A and B are shown apart, each in its own frame.
Chain A
Amino acid sequence: MRTHDRLIDLRPGWRAAAMGAALVGAFVAPAWALAGPYHDGPDKMVQMVAAATGSPANSLVEIAKHKFSLPTVTVPVGGTVTWRNHDEDVHTVVSTTQVFRSPGLDTDEAYSYTFTKPGVYQYFCTLHPLMTGTVIVK
């Protein structure tokens, strides 16, 4: 009886473990497919999570013609957003809650910020405040 019970008990667990392995496989496989050099450390985890959630770990926002190319970007916790200025005018990227603040960006200069906490971050250009954007971190 006990033996049988143990076998029965094992099976659901075994199923869960099998499903878990399959899920991890589903996570890992795309990461292997998308990622470049596969190395250990937090980057690996970020890339795996990114693949699962569907958003890239890093985002690039172009600044041109007094606009941010992507009004909203979404990155995972630990992800980095890079802004690059293509205008002759100087622009800045400043969060409305003082979480991040770029220096004045000349033509072809860039600024990156790595987001360590989830949330919704509004930002704007302090020279041209009609230029606004949002970063969603989750």
Chain B
Amino acid sequence: MRDDLNHSHDMDRQEGHRGDGVDRRGFLECMAWAGTGLVWVAAGGILSSRALGQAAAADAAPATSFSFVQISDTHIGFKGEANKDALGTFEQALARIKALEPAPAFIIHTGDLTHAQKAGAFDTVTEALKGTRAERVFYVPGENDVFADGGKEYLGRFGGPAGTGWQSFDYKGVHFIGLVNVLNFKAGGLGSLGPAQLDWLKKDVAGLSSSTPIVVFAHVPLWAVYPKWGWVTDDGEQALSSLKRFGSVTVLNGHIHQILQKVEGNIRFHTALSTAFPQPAPGVGEGPGPLKVPAEELRKVLGLREVTYVPGKGSLAVVDSTLA
């Protein structure tokens, strides 16, 4: 079947392997009815009519649409010139989350919750996120969350049963994988996943069918955005090779405090805005770090992301929004 083939198609390669039974011919047949604005659907032996848009969603069983939020680099505890009120801009982002209709199923935080593990910052973040209506919040650490103690504080709170910090879970047919690439920094080195985690990843996805949509989240970009500034994961390619066979892979990263995107075969990469401060574009200026912008521009370069999964669509819909 087409599931097992590893073509590098463009976006619409989902024609052959969806569970909703609508292939190209079926879709064209549906379109022929478009003039009437109605589709007659037989379900459970009962004929009923629905508007076109509803028909597609109703036929997509058992998976259903849902959305989640990615928030990143909140840097609670930061007090530099680039943003004197990192807590305030974080709270503005939370207000946006609370206003989303329907409410997101959960929130993913792609790291640098705290700025340099400042005292009380972890508590501030977790308590604030509880105020949203999301069922759960998932975290992966940034280097700011683990640098002072090799991850002891972070992993004690968020390390999970195995205490490693990496994790996977399924939600309505989508498989989510959280990776940790900010531990065990070596002098002159880069973020890395390490052999134990790569091995775990390989085993974690081994039993999944290639049509399972995959979402990977990690702090440091998994692709080489700008290695000179440490904007790369040393062994990221090895992780991606475990995922290349899947029809839809979405990689969500943080760390660089700006949105950059890349498509590589079936893998779509998105880095995210911070809620605290922006950073320079790759190679612009002497190095990475907090970038001061005029006060009236700041909220335009901070923001969050909503990701929506609609069954039958190959890729997840990624919608970024800024605070102003």
Contact = CB atoms under 8 A, between A and B. Distances in A.
B187 A89 contact: no
A129 B290 contact: no
Contacts of A132: 187-188
B147 A104 contact: yes
Contact of B147 (A65, A107, A126): A126
A126 B230 CA distance: 12
Contacts of B147: 92, 104, 126-127
Contact of A126 (B185, B228, B287): B185
A88 B188 contact: no
B187 A123 contact: yes
Interface in A19-49: none
Majority-rule SS of B interface residues: loop
B186 interface: yes
Given A127-B147, A129-B188, A129-B189, A66 B289 contact: yes
A79 to B, nearest CB: 22
Interface residues on B, range: 20 to 34
Interface in A70-99: 87-90, 92, 96
Contact of A90 (B81, B144, B188): B144
Contacts, number: 66
Interface in B267-309: 286-290
A34 to B, nearest CB: 34
Contacts of B230: 128-130
A67 B229 CA distance: 11
Contacts of B189: 129-130
A111 to B, nearest CB: 13
Majority-rule SS of A interface residues: loop
A82 B287 CA distance: 23
A90 B148 CA distance: 11
Contacts of A127: 116, 143-144, 147
Q: With a 10 A CB-CB cut-off, give which of A65, A107, A124, A128 has the most chain B CB atoms.
A: A128
A59 interface: no
Interface string B225-242: 000111000000000000
Contacts of A96: 186-187
Given A66-B289, A88-B82, A129 B116 contact: no
Given A88-B290, A129-B187, 19 more contacts: A66-B288, A67-B287, A87-B289, A88-B80, A89-B289, A89-B290, A90-B144, A104-B147, A106-B116, A124-B185, A126-B147, A126-B185, A128-B143, A129-B185, A129-B186, A129-B188, A129-B189, A129-B190, A130-B190
User: 3 tightest CB-CB pairs across the interface, nearest first?
Assistant: A88-B80, A124-B187, A66-B287
